[in-house]
Amino acid sequence: AAILLTCLAGLLLAALPVRHLTLGAGFVSSLPADTEVRRAAVAAEAGFAEGIMSPTTLLLEAPGITSRRTQLHRLGDLIDDEPGVAGVLGPGNQPVPTELGIMLARNGGAARFLIVLDSSPLDARAINSFGRLQQRLPDLLAAADLSGVRVGLAGDTAIAHTVVDGT
């Protein structure tokens, strides 16, 4: 019994660090510093935020949502204030002409936001930020007065979050 308890205690002590393990899927930082991909990532991150390499896409769908500009602008501001978010491009700060239908669908039924996280898109910190944002999204939509909207999140961080959650 003493040997069994000693072995069990040893296994528990060895397993304690696993509680604080954070999983990520990032690989760029592990590339040699002289590779083209690593140099490009470093340059992009130096000029912007780390998440610029692969922004998360938020798609909102509802009939006539493109006419709700005030609410969409408010949602963009609320998302921008969330921890882990470096910036948001969306209908409130339309970076391209509306007629192209990139941020606002021409048929009026969808609006898109690009969310740039403040950490590398596939790293554990970004995945955790994405998870928090995903959980907060219903409250943010309610605060922006955008109820009854169908929501979709996409991008590399969304995929990595699904993989890490499944793991």
Q: What is the pLDDT of residues 60-99, one digit of tens each?
A: 999 999 999 999 999 999 999 999 999 999 887 766 566 6
Is residue 135 helix, strand or coil? helix
CA distance 160 to 133: 14
Residue 30's pLDDT is 63
The DSSP symbol for 49 reads -
CA distance 120 to 85: 11
Q: What angle do CA 118, 81, 149 make, to 5 degrees?
A: 105
Residue 141's pLDDT is 96
| Contacts (Cβ under 8 Å, ≥6 apart) of 158 | 56, 130
Task: List the beta bridge partners of residue 85.
Answer: 117
Q: Percent of the chain at pLDDT above 70?
A: 81
Q: What is the amino acid identity at position 129? A: S
Contacts within 8 Å (CB) and 24+ apart, 37-43:
41/120
For residues 50 and 119, is the Cβ–Cβ distance under 8 A? yes
**Closest-CA residue to 111 (of 159, 57, 55):** 57
Residue 165's pLDDT is 83
- Six token digits for residue 57: 């896409």
